[in-house]
């Protein structure tokens, strides 16, 4: 099964009427364009809604604010600049504190700042970015700035902006155009304000989802003449780039940072190993010991879920379609079954396949009373939740993100997050994981910006192995980990450069 995690949720109401006229040819694509709520970048906003711990933080943002649209406000930062548009510039101080806390947990970017201080590898770079706007993104942006770049930034999602962080960035001079709760029209207006500037033209793009890239393609295609490259980190955005490339329409080099080894391992295996437990506990307070669990899919995500639950004393069954992954499950000590074989006896069903309708209404009908059903895999397609919206079943919301679906005979199924990603909805993503991604993005920008003429053509590239290794090495000090260096003799024996790359591209890790 597809083990790579898809990170976006389709939300049905993402009307984009404002764009209908201009981009009639793109209508179909746009209608299916997700309003992205990225998994990783939502740690802070999720926290706000799911625990009381952030309520104090949230309060200074939301409740005291007026209802005026930021577009209608006149705001200036303390240096007199008004080249930004955020909810409330006065929240800058709160945002700064969040950024400072994030800095402590993103040592790799801080190290990058230090190491590159003299040379300024991004001197001259004019980066336009479109990502979630969170404290972690702020650390990335300020790092890019420290490396010499000029940045302008919009949000890639209408809900995920942390207003106080946006304010802090604006206060310290970054032209940021984003707030929580943008309309669709606002969304494109913000992007446009980033690129359509007098006397400033971007030469690098950092995108998350492909909307920024798309906008420039449609509105300012000439801009690409000066653009040295695109860095894209989402599955969706990468997919779009490959389609462009296939169609021969990609006119600058692009770097797919989504598939770098380090990022993948952390997004999937390492992160999910912890978030499956966290998500289940926060929603159900259940005990793991002795529970029977079936995990559908034994890719990286499934491997992480299975290892964690086994360690906590659960009895874990696995379903798979790929015989190689299936054999791995066997060797790791899990019984490989078809879902039907165990569906009556399990206490928990977890999907992580990337597939659709893995758990069907028929399965749901056969589950035992109290069975918990959740999805760690992909979008909201894995569990056929729609099939549960029938008159004979009663839905009861017992907690945020927790529904009891009740059968006529009284049987209750505990459905988490309505079948959307459990780790997105009911858990948070550690800053360390976000640090891996942000560092990968920074290095990709440096690489593309500094690459000698001809190294990259109008195609989509993976992050060079050596850069991937560098991302990893920047995170080792966090663990007080000491890398061994090859001697000259050893390097020669192995036929390797002492500084890497150390593995062939096909190496499986």
- Pick out residues in 24-83 that bind its own copies (CB under 8 A): 43, 47, 49-56
Can you list the positions of beta strands (E) in 171-215? 176-177, 204-207
436, HSE (Cβ side, Cα atoms, 13 Å): 25
Q: Is 267 annotated as contributing to ligand binding?
A: yes
Closer to its own copies at the Cβ: 73 or 265?
265
Closer to its own copies at the Cβ: 386 or 481?
481
- Residue by residue, DSSP assigns 424-446 as HHSS---HHHHHHHHHHHHHHHH
How many whole angstroms separate alpha carbon 67 and alpha carbon 82? 20
Q: How far is the CB of 194 from its own copies (least distance, A)?
A: 30
Contacting residue, 10, 146, 330, 393, with its own copies by CB under 8 A:
330
Q: What would the x/- binding string for its own copies be over residues 475 to 494, using CB under 8 A? A: xx-xxxxxxxxxx-xx--xx
**Which residues, 355 to 384, sit near its own copies by CB under 8 A?**
355-358, 369-370, 381
Contacting residue, 172, 203, 258, 314, with its own copies by CB under 8 A:
314
The SS3 of residue 405 is strand
Contacting residue, 117, 400, 450, 497, with its own copies by CB under 8 A:
400
How many whole angstroms separate alpha carbon 128 and alpha carbon 219? 15
**Which residues, 271 to 310, sit near its own copies by CB under 8 A?**
271, 273-274, 277-278, 281-283, 285-292, 300, 307-308, 310
How many whole angstroms separate alpha carbon 271 and alpha carbon 17? 37
How many whole angstroms separate alpha carbon 407 and alpha carbon 213? 48
Q: What would the x/- binding string for its own copies be over residues 414 to 433, using CB under 8 A? A: -------------xxxxxxx
Work out the end-to-end distance of the chain between its first and last CA atoms, rounded to an integer number of angstroms.
19
Closer to its own copies at the Cβ: 157 or 314?
314
CB of 383 within 8 A of CB of 419?
A: yes
Site size toward its own copies, by CB under 8 A = 120
Q: Is 300 annotated as contributing to ligand binding?
A: yes
Closer to its own copies at the Cβ: 86 or 261?
261
Q: Does residue 312 touch its own copies according to CB under 8 A?
A: yes
Question: Pairing between strand 229-232 and 204-207?
Answer: parallel
CB of 256 within 8 A of CB of 225?
A: no
Q: Is 263 annotated as contributing to ligand binding?
A: yes
| Total number of residues shown for the chain | 509
Q: Does residue 118 touch its own copies according to CB under 8 A?
A: no
Q: How far is the CB of 469 from its own copies (least distance, A)?
A: 5
């Amino acid at each position: 099964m597809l083990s790579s995690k898809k990170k976006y949720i389709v939300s049905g109401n993402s009307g984009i009427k404002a764009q209908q006229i201009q981009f009639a040819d793109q209508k179909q694509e746009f209608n299916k364009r997700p309003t992205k709520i990225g998994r990783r970048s939502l740690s802070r906003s999720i926290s706000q809604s799911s625990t009381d711990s952030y309520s104090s933080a949230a309060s200074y943002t939301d409740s005291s604010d007026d209802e005026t649209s930021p577009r209608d406000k006149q705001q200036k930062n303390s240096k007199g600049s008004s080249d930004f548009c955020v909810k409330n510039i006065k929240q800058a101080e709160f945002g700064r504190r969040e950024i400072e806390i994030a800095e402590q947990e993103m040592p790799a970017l801080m190290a990058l700042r230090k190491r590159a201080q003299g040379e300024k590898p991004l001197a001259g770079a004019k980066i336009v970015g479109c990502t979630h706007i969170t404290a972690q993104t702020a650390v990335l942006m300020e790092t890019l700035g420290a490396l010499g770049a000029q940045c302008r930034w919009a949000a890639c999602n209408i809900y995920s902006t942390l207003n106080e962080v946006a304010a802090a960035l604006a206060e310290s001079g970054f032209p940021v155009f984003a707030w929580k709760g943008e309309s669709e029209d606002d969304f494109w207006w913000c992007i446009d304000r980033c690129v359509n500037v007098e006397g400033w033209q971007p030469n690098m793009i950092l995108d998350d989802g492909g909307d920024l890239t798309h906008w420039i393609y449609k509105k300012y295609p000439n801009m690409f003449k000066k653009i040295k490259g695109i860095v894209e980190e989402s599955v969706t955005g990468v997919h779009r780039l490959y389609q462009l490339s296939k169609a021969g329409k990609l006119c600058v080099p692009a770097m797919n940072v989504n598939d770098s080894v380090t990022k993948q391992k952390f997004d999937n295996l390492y992160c999910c190993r912890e978030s499956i437990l966290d998500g289940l506990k926060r929603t159900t307070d259940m005990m793991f010991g002795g529970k029977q669990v079936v995990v559908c899919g034994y890719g990286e995500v499934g491997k992480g879920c299975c290892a964690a639950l086994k360690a906590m004393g659960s009895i874990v069954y696995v379903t798979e379609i790929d015989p190689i992954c299936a054999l791995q499950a066997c060797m790791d000590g899990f019984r490989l079954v078809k879902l039907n074989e165990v569906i009556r006896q399990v206490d928990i069903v977890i999907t992580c396949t990337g597939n659709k309708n893995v758990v069907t209404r028929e399965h749901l009908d056969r589950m035992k009373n109290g069975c918990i059903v959740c999805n760690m895999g992909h979008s909201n397609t894995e569990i056929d939740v729609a099939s549960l919206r029938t008159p004979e079943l009663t839905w009861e919301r017992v907690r945020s993100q927790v529904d009891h679906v009740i059968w006529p005979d009284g049987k209750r199924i505990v459905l988490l997050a309505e079948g959307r990603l459990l780790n997105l909805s009911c858990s948070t993503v550690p800053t360390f994981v976000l640090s891996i991604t942000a560092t990968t993005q920074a290095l990709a920008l440096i690489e593309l910006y500094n690459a000698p003429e001809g190294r990259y053509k109008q195609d989509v590239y993976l992050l060079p192995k050596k850069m991937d290794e560098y991302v990893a090495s920047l995170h080792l000090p966090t663990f007080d980990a000491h890398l061994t260096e090859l001697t000259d003799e050893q390097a020669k024996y192995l036929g390797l450069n002492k500084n890497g790359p150390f593995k062939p591209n096909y190496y499986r890790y």
